[in-house]
C-alpha cells in the first residue's frame, strides 16, 4: 500500500481503492442499482448547486461544532451505515468506528456489518448508532433489546429496503458469499488476500439466522432473506414506544412521510436513496431536503446522505437545510486505499475542506450558513 501523500480527495481514494481491491469487491462499493442513473443524479445535485459568497464577514474563527436535541458532534458529518465492509478488511467495522470516535462524529453500524455491535463498542470505546432493518420474520423485539443493552444511543430504522435493489454489477460479477478467492487474487491483490486469509470467516453477527444460509448465497439473496420485512407505520409506532433513546428513520424522500414519522415521535429523518443502490429512478436526496425545509421540517430533524464527496458538498447540504451529512462510499474507498490511516486522512480532509468553504462563502458557524447565504 502506497503512502497517502497522493490522496487528496474522493477521486484519489477511489482510484487507489480500485487498484487495491478485486473487481467484484470494488464494484460492490462503487456500483448502484440498474443503469446507475440514480447515482448520477445524486452527484449532479451537488455539482449543479452553487453558493454565492458573502464578504466583509469575520471568519478567522470557524467552528464546526454542532448540537442537536439528540446529541452533539465535533463536525456536521458522520459515517453512514455500510454493510459487508469485511470484504475490504476483516477489521473494517472496528476501524471505521474507532476513527469516528476519535473525531467525535457519528458512526452508524449497518445491520449487515461483519462485526458484532458489542465488539465494535469495545474496540472504539463507545457504542455506535445502529441501523435496523425489519427482519423478514417480523420479530424485531429481541434485536432491539440487544441494541439497547449494548448501549447504542440511536436506532436508525431503514425504510427503503422492502426489496433488495437490482445491482447489475454484482449480478454480472456473480458476487456471492463466502467470497471465492483464487490465483488471480493472489497475483493482482496480494495484500488484500493476505488480510482476508488472516481474518475470520465473513459472518453477520447482528443478523439472527444469517448463519443458516447456504454457501454460495448471493448478497441480494442475503438481503432478501434477512431484511425483507415490510415496516408499517404501526410497526414504527410500536418501536417508538419500545425504544427509549433517539429514534431516526432512514430512506425517507417524500415530505408527507417525513411529517408522519415526526408526528409518531421519531426524532429525526435521514433523507436518503441508499446511495442510488435501491431504486434507480429515485430523485436526489439533496432536492428532497429542500422540499422538507419548505414544509417546515427543521434542520435539527434532518440528516442527508447519497452523493456527498467533499467538504464543499457538506456545506451545500447544510445550506439546503440539513443539520447533519452522512458519507458512505467515501469512507470505504479511504479504508481500501490506506487502511485506518486513510479513514483518519479523509476525516481531516473533510474538516479542512468544510472550514475552507465556510470561510470563502462568509460564514463562521454551522447554524449561520442558511441565514448568512440565504435560500
Q: Is 311 in contact with 354 (CB distance < 8 Å)?
A: yes
- The answer to whether 42 touches 307, Cβ cutoff 8 Å, is yes
188 is in an annotated binding site: no
Asked if residue 131 belongs to a known ligand binding site, the reply is: yes
Confirm or deny that 19 is annotated as ligand binding: no
Contact in structure between 42 and 284 (CB atoms under 8 Å): yes
**Residue 45 marked ligand-binding:** no
Distance (Å, whole) CA 321 – CA 143: 33
Q: Any idea which residue has 425517507 for its cell?
A: 252
The rounded distance, in Å, linking the Cα atoms of 342 and 97 is 13
Is 110 marked as binding a ligand? Answer: yes
Q: How far apart are CA 330 and CA 7, in angstroms?
A: 12
The reply to whether 274 belongs to the active site is yes
In sequence order, which ranges of the chain are alpha helices (DSSP H)?
Answer: 10-20, 23-30, 37-47, 92-103, 117-124, 141-149, 168-173, 183-188, 190-198, 219-227, 233-242, 255-263, 285-294, 311-320, 329-361, 369-373
What does 347-367 look like in DSSP terms, one character per residue?
A: HHHHHHHHHHHHHHHT--BGG
Q: Is 133 annotated as a binding residue?
A: yes
Helix (H, G, I), strand (E, B) or coil at 299: helix
| Active-site option among 274, 287, 319, 370 | 274
Please indicate if the annotation marks 277 as binding a ligand: yes
* Cell 456500483 -> residue: 31
Residue 46 among known ligand-binding residues: no
Q: How many CB atoms lie within 10 A of CB 158?
A: 23
116 annotated ligand binder: no
Residue 124 annotated as binding site: no
Annotated binding residue 208 = no
Can you tell me which residue has the cell 436513496? 273
Instruction: Please give the Cα distance from 169 to 192 (Å, whole number).
Output: 20
Judge if the upstream peptide bond of residue 286 is cis by omega within 30 degrees of 0: no
Q: Measure Cα distances from 1 to 4, 19, 339 in Å.
A: 9, 10, 9
Closest by Cα among 344, 345, 329 to 6: 345
Main-chain phi, psi angles of 298, to 5 degrees: -85, 155
329 is in an annotated binding site: yes
Would you say 180 is a known binding-site residue?
A: no
Residue 12 annotated as lining a ligand binding site = no
Binding site, residues? Answer: 81-83, 110, 131, 133, 158, 167, 250, 272, 274, 277, 305-309, 328-329
Binding site for FMN, residues? Answer: 81-83, 110, 131, 158, 250, 272, 305-309, 328-329
Binding site for glyoxylate, residues? Answer: 133, 167, 274, 277
Query: Which active-site residues does the annotation give?
Result: 274
Amino acid at each position: 500500500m502506497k503512502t497517502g501523500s497522493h490522496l487528496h480527495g474522493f477521486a484519489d481514494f477511489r482510484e487507489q481503492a480500485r487498484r487495491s481491491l478485486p473487481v467484484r469487491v470494488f464494484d460492490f462499493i462503487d456500483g448502484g442499482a440498474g443503469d446507475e442513473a440514480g447515482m448520477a443524479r445524486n452527484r449532479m445535485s451537488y455539482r449543479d448547486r452553487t453558493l454565492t459568497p458573502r464578504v466583509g464577514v469575520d471568519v478567522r474563527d470557524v467552528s464546526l461544532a454542532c448540537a442537536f436535541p439528540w446529541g452533539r458532534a465535533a463536525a456536521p458529518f458522520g459515517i453512514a451505515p455500510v454493510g459487508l465492509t469485511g470484504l475490504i478488511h476483516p477489521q473494517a467495522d472496528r476501524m471505521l468506528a474507532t476513527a469516528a470516535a476519535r473525531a467525535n462524529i457519528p458512526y452508524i453500524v449497518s445491520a449487515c456489518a461483519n462485526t458484532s455491535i458489542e465488539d465494535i463498542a469495545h474496540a472504539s470505546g463507545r457504542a455506535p448508532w445502529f441501523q435496523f432493518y425489519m427482519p423478514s420474520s417480523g420479530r424485531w423485539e429481541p434485536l432491539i433489546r440487544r441494541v439497547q443493552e449494548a448501549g447504542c444511543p440511536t436506532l436508525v430504522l431503514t425504510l427503503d429496503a422492502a426489496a433488495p435493489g437490482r445491482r447489475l454489477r454484482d449480478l454480472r460479477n456473480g458476487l456471492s458469499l463466502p467470497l471465492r478467492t483464487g490465483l488471480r487474487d493472489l497475483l493482482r491483490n496480494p495484500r488484500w488476500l493476505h488480510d482476508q486469509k488472516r481474518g475470520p470467516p465473513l459472518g453477520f453477527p447482528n443478523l439472527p439466522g444469517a448463519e443458516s444460509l447456504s454457501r454460495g448465497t448471493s448478497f441480494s439473496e442475503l438481503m432478501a432473506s434477512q431484511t425483507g420485512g415490510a415496516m408499517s407505520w404501526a410497526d414504527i409506532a410500536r418501536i417508538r414506544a419500545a425504544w427509549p433513546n433517539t429514534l431516526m428513520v432512514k430512506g425517507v424522500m417524500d415530505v408527507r412521510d417525513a411529517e408522519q414519522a415526526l408526528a409518531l415521535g421519531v426524532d429525526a429523518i435521514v433523507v436518503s436513496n441508499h446511495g442510488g443502490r435501491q431504486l434507480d429512478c429515485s430523485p436526489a436526496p439533496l432536492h428532497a431536503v429542500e422540499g422538507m425545509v419548505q414544509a417546515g421540517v427543521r434542520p435539527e430533524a434532518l440528516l442527508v446522505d447519497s452523493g456527498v464527496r467533499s467538504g464543499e458538498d457538506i456545506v451545500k447540504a447544510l445550506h439546503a437545510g440539513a443539520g447533519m451529512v452522512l458519507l458512505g462510499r467515501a469512507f470505504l474507498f479511504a479504508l481500501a486505499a490506506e487502511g485506518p490511516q486513510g479513514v483518519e486522512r479523509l476525516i481531516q480532509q473533510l474538516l479542512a475542506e468544510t472550514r475552507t468553504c465556510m470561510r470563502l462563502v462568509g460564514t463562521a458557524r454551522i447554524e449561520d450558513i442558511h441565514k448568512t447565504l440565504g435560500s
